[in-house]
Structure 1
Amino acid sequence: MDIATLSIILLVVLFGLLLLGLWVGFALLAVGMVAMELATGAPTGSIMATKIWGALNVWDLTALPMFIWMGEILFRSRLSSDLFTGLSPFTRRLPGGLLHVNILGCALFAAVSGSSAATTATVGKMSLPELKSRGYDMRMAIGTLAGSGTFGFLIPPSIILIVYGAATEQSIARLFLAGLLPGLMLAVMFAGYVMLWSLLHRDRVPAPDPRPTLRQRLRALKLLLPTVLLIVAVIGSIYAGLASPTEAAVVGVAGALAISGLSGGLDRDSAVGALRGAAITTCMIAFILAGASFLTVAMGFTGIPRTLAAWIGEQGYSQFALLSALLVFFIVLGFFLDGISIVVLTTSVILPMVTAAGIDPIWFGIFLVLVVEMSQITPPVGFNLFVLQSITGRGIFEIALMALPFFLILVLATAILSVFPEIALWLPGTMISR
């Protein structure tokens, strides 16, 4: 059977199973089994068992449940209300006022949770009612939250960067460092857009509050201190070489437990809920990784990745032409799949093309995460849209329209990162050179 026919059959099987509602992990296993049966006479069952065990028996993956647990603990604590109260005095006088709390709050919470959906839900439950009561334009408030909630994928500790690192055998520590500056750049771009919009629509922004007193600023800093210390403890320990990502995750869980305990936001029910939520999310990701690992081996037997990589090389595409094509491809894929599924489903096929074109796999991980962030705010399978629908009661497509400017900013940020790759590669290079 030729490569083109086999590729079409596998795509039909994959999307057919997904449309039938089969879990992504099992769909990937099924496609791998079909590929093995059609392309080779090797023992499918033995290869599947061996590969799944090898893929999940990886030490770096132990950071995954710990970071998820840390995010679940903080999600149930008073951290969100403290973030809003702590950031308010420093944003009231900026053009756009408290709309910046959505952006800064999401950036800070992303740095201690790693989850896009958790970031959106946590900050949104606190900020949206407050912004509505103060007379802010709700379309803009919801849009900023939808866009800023995607920071959970990029700003470390990012769950999806751990998944990408495990799937591609890249250093998770380097990926974390590579995500820092692009994440900050994206936050600045969002804030800049909010300032510009507010200056052009002064009638839709409330009058600025009185200048906060020194006492108010000091009280705000006190509320922000636990979050800042937790970020420094987790990310700083990795950057300083004092801890591996797994060890930093343990530090993060211990810090989250301490913050929640001292703030009085952690009781028995919330503690059990956090543990249960972490277990469910970890198992879901593990199933997807297991299916993707077997599919990767099956694709190797079919020769599809090698053929595609060779074809790309023969075409002589420039890096920018390849990245532009991949950008469109991932945006379309994001209409139908969630971020983690996109990463584990495509890396086995795409990475050989990327490396053949001379693109750094660490940089490509950040590029991929930026594009995957777009899938969080594109219907019909945008997780951030679902979260905001549950909070606001508005329709998915209405929220997506509110988030459209921030989707376009994500596209612009991806273009900037492509032109200036050092934005992502400078910090990892600094760490390695030490």
Structure 2
Amino acid sequence: MDPATIGFIGFGVLFVLLFIRMPVGAAMMLVGTGGIWFIRERAAIPKLAGEIFNEASNYPLTIIPLFVLMGNLAGVSGMSRDLYTAAHAWLGHLKGGLASATIVGCAGFSALSGSSLAAALTMGRVALPEMQRYKYDNGLATGAIAAGGTLGILIPPSAGFVVYAILTEESIGRLFMAGVLPGLMLTTLFIFAIWLSVLRKPERAPAAAERMALGQRFAALFRSFWIIGIIVATIGGIYTGVFSAVEAAGVGAFLALLVTLIRGAMTWANMVDVFTSTLKSTGTVFLILFGAFVFKSFVGFTGITITLSEWVALQGFTGFQIVCAFLVLFIILGMFMEGFAILVLTVPLIQPIIQPLGIDMIWFGVLMVIVLEMGLISPPVGVNVFVVKGIARDVPLNTIFRGIWPFWFAMLAAVLLILAFPQIALTLPNTMFG
């Protein structure tokens, strides 16, 4: 059988396995190994073993457990609550201010955890009771939490950027820097979406918290000094070249551990919970990466990428047109597939097509991550929506999905702005030290 035909059959089998909810990493590993066996039998097992060993011993991947550990320590030490309290103090008295404070809290926590699910879960437990106490519309309250959580895979340290960097062999540090300005822009767009929503229907945020005195606001901001300091130390250190992205992860994890000790939160129960959660999250990501690289080898054996590249060249499409077409495809796939699955499944196919067309892979990575964020809240499979549903058990699922639409369109606006003005994503990575 022709290798290209085997490749297309392999993609079909993979989609079937993902549809029946087989774990992404296991499905890609199974299809990749089986496909290589059909094309070159003797290469199948050596490729499987070799790719797993290479990724398991890949030094830059130590960044994942270290940043996951940092985020988990921020949760148990109370730093995440301090950040929300500070945002509440400064924004809570405004119309829709509690929802805006939730977005700011999620953005700040994302700069420690790198995980959208962790950001939605942690900040949801803190913010939802407060918004319900002030009788916020359930759709607005839960939508803000679900959307705010998605910032976890855009604002560095992003696990999504780490995986993308490993797959494309781009710099993790440059990708982290590329996510900073788009992350701040998207945070602002989310707050603007809340303001428009409340302006249109004031009853969605019927009451505001009392305005705090200026001294109280600064006191709340000072209490969040630890989390702000760790964020500045890690991200600022990468930008200025003081240390690499991996070293930043180590510094951040150490500082978070130190704060946990100082605050007296380093109990046996907390540490068991933190390290167990870190191991589970890390194991999940590593399994996906193992599968992705085995599948990437299979794709290379089939020659599909060469065929697709030649076809694109014959059609005369520009790089910008191809990028737009892929982004639309990601939006559609995001309605039915989990973001990491889309990332590891499509990047090995897409990179050989768009890179020869002069597309900057850092810029494309930022666009791809934002579109994957849209998938995290898109019906019917929006993962963050189901995470929030687990917190807000009394809120119907359709109410949460209804509440996410203003934020979904804010993400679309962010994509269009970065398409029109690439320097939003490229300014910091192009000016960072080294």
TM-score bin (small chain): over 0.9
Q: 1:114 maps to what in 2?
A: 114
Alignment of 1:15-414 (within 5 A): 15-393=15-393, 394-414=395-415
**Partners in 1 of 2:135 and 2:333 — Cα distance?**
37
User: Comparing 42-51 with 150-159, which one deviates more in the overlay?
Assistant: 42-51
CA drift of 1:207 comes to 4.4
**Partners in 1 of 2:108 and 2:365 — Cα distance?**
22
CA drift of 1:100 comes to 0.9
CA drift of 1:37 comes to 2.9
Q: 2:417 maps to what in 1?
A: 416
CA contact (8 A) 1:158 1:176 kept: yes
User: Comparing 126-135 with 395-404, which one deviates more in the overlay?
Assistant: 395-404
Q: 1:427 maps to what in 2?
A: 428
CA contact (8 A) 1:75 1:118 kept: no
In structure 1, give the amino acid aligned to 2:239: Y
In structure 2, give the amino acid aligned to 1:289: L
Task: Check 1:279–1:214 CA distance in 2 against 1; reply closer, same or farther (3 A cut).
Answer: same
**Partners in 1 of 2:397 and 2:134 — Cα distance?**
25
CA contact (8 A) 1:120 1:146 kept: yes
**Partners in 1 of 2:144 and 2:187 — Cα distance?**
11
User: Comparing 12-21 with 238-247, which one deviates more in the overlay?
Assistant: 12-21
**Partners in 2 of 1:210 and 1:33 — Cα distance?**
61
In structure 2, give the amino acid aligned to 1:370: I
**SS of residue paired to 1:43:** helix
CA contact (8 A) 1:379 1:397 kept: no
Q: Deviations over 1:339-388 (max 9, x none)?
A: 22221121111111120221111111111111111121123432211210
Q: Deviations over 1:14-71 (max 9, x none)?
A: 1222234322111101111232133335521112212222233211111111111111
**Partners in 1 of 2:145 and 2:348 — Cα distance?**
33
**Partners in 2 of 1:401 and 1:203 — Cα distance?**
16
**Identity of matched residues, %:** 40
User: Comparing 189-198 with 102-111, which one deviates more in the overlay?
Assistant: 189-198
CA drift of 1:404 comes to 1.7
CA contact (8 A) 1:25 1:290 kept: yes
**SS of residue paired to 1:206:** coil
**Partners in 1 of 2:339 and 2:294 — Cα distance?**
19
In structure 1, give the amino acid aligned to 2:400: I
Alignment TM-score, normalising by the size of structure 2: 0.95
In structure 1, give the amino acid aligned to 2:221: L
CA contact (8 A) 1:379 1:396 kept: no
User: Comparing 270-279 with 378-387, which one deviates more in the overlay?
Assistant: 378-387
CA drift of 1:395 comes to 4.1
CA contact (8 A) 2:177 2:429 kept: yes
- Listed as ranges, the gaps of 5+ residues in structure 1 are none
**Partners in 2 of 1:241 and 1:51 — Cα distance?**
31
In structure 2, give the amino acid aligned to 1:411: L
In structure 2, give the amino acid aligned to 1:417: I
**Partners in 2 of 1:131 and 1:209 — Cα distance?**
10
Number of residue-to-residue matches in the alignment: 433
**Partners in 2 of 1:3 and 1:374 — Cα distance?**
35
The CA RMSD over aligned residues, in Å, is: 1.8
**Partners in 1 of 2:360 and 2:38 — Cα distance?**
33
**SS of residue paired to 1:347:** helix
Task: Check 1:74–1:210 CA distance in 2 against 1; reply closer, same or farther (3 A cut).
Answer: closer
**SS of residue paired to 1:184:** helix
**SS of residue paired to 1:101:** helix
In structure 1, give the amino acid aligned to 2:426: L
**Partners in 2 of 1:88 and 1:317 — Cα distance?**
49
Alignment TM-score, normalising by the size of structure 1: 0.95
User: Comparing 338-347 with 63-72, which one deviates more in the overlay?
Assistant: 338-347
- Listed as ranges, the gaps of 5+ residues in structure 2 are none
CA contact (8 A) 2:376 2:382 kept: yes
User: Comparing 312-321 with 1-10, which one deviates more in the overlay?
Assistant: 1-10
CA contact (8 A) 1:106 1:149 kept: yes
Regions of 4+ moved over 6 Å: none
CA contact (8 A) 2:138 2:400 kept: no
**SS of residue paired to 2:246:** helix
CA contact (8 A) 2:139 2:399 kept: no
